[in-house]
Structure 1
Amino acid sequence: MTWFNEHYAETLLVIGIVILAIEVVVLGFSTFFLFFIGLATVVTAGLMYFGIVPETWLASLMSISVFTAFFALLLWRKLKSLQSKVDNKRADNDIVGHSFVCPKDIDPLLPLHELPTYNYSGISWRLMSEVPIKAGDRVAVKQTDVGILHIIQVA
């Protein structure tokens, strides 16, 4: 315990870096609270190292609290705008373009729970089409959604 008290600033620096690493690496920068706390802890450790803030529990907690609030006020809008940029492009996967013989007739007017299914890679997919398709016709996957294959008829 005496080593901790003798190296309080260095310990806070390591704790701050670990908090920042958890926020960025593990959580993927999804919450900003740990980022603000980690940044405040690193700044407090630096101020303690240079003797500006005394190396006590109370001083460090107060400094971390003040800097956390300061960084939150200063950086919140900027970081929030970084998260608002969303890529709406559909991700392609290996099943798009896969062709097979349609097992049953497909009618685009059928409700979802009545659509025929096709087993692929251990998953039972619902088959959906914009136009009617007869059983035995050759089809290809145009797009995928969760549990649904959007198919088109191929020659």
Structure 2
Amino acid sequence: MQFIIDNLPQSLMILGVLALIIEVAVLGMSTFILLFLGISLFATGLMMNFGLLDASLTTALWSNTLITAACALLLWKPLKRMQENVDNKDVKSDFAELDFVLTNDVNELGLTTHSYSGITWKLKSQQPLNAGTHVKVVKKEVGVMWVAAI
């Protein structure tokens, strides 16, 4: 503990970097709290290192409180907007190019199923398809394969 107090600016900067790494790498920017805290810890440590702030625990506490609050007030809305920008583009993969022969009739209702990779999928089609038709997967959703005749 004495080592941390003796090297308070460096300790704060290390804790700030660790908080930022956890926020970005582990949590994927899903919560912003560690981001704001990491920024404030690093900034406080940097200011203490350059002599702008006194290197004491009380100063560190107040500085982190104020900088964290300021970061939250300034960055909350822009970061929230950035999080809401979602790309709705369909992902192309080898899974979508799967083809097979239907054992039952398929329509938009999804009453027919197909087992693939240990999972039973509902089959749906834009147009009715008869049993014995060779089809390929054109779109996938959670638990549903959309198929079309080849």
- Give the TM-score normalised by structure 1: 0.89
The alignment of Structure 1 onto Structure 2 pairs a total of residues equal to 150
Is the counterpart of residue 123 in structure 1 residue 123 in structure 2?
A: no
5+ long unaligned stretches in structure 2 = none
5+ long unaligned stretches in structure 1 = none
Q: Secondary structure at the match of 2:94?
A: coil
Distance 2:106 2:16 in 1: 58
Shift of 1:97: 2.4
Distance 1:62 1:21 in 2: 23
Q: Counterparts in 2 of 1:2-151, with a 5 A limit? A: 2-108=2-108, 110=109, 112=110, 115-151=111-147
Distance 1:84 1:148 in 2: 26
Distance 2:132 2:72 in 1: 61
1:4-63 CA distances to partner (integer Å, 9 max, x unpaired)? 221111111100110011111111122221111110011111121122322222211110
Moved over 6 A (4+): none
Which moves more between the two structures, 16-25 or 75-84?
A: 75-84
RMSD: 1.5
Q: Closer, same or farther in 2 for the Cα pair 1:142/1:17, shift >3 Å?
A: same
Shift of 1:2: 2.5
The residue type equivalent to 2:74 in the other structure is L
The residue type equivalent to 1:97 in the other structure is E
Q: Secondary structure at the match of 2:34?
A: helix
> What percentage of residue pairs aligned between the two structures are identical?
38
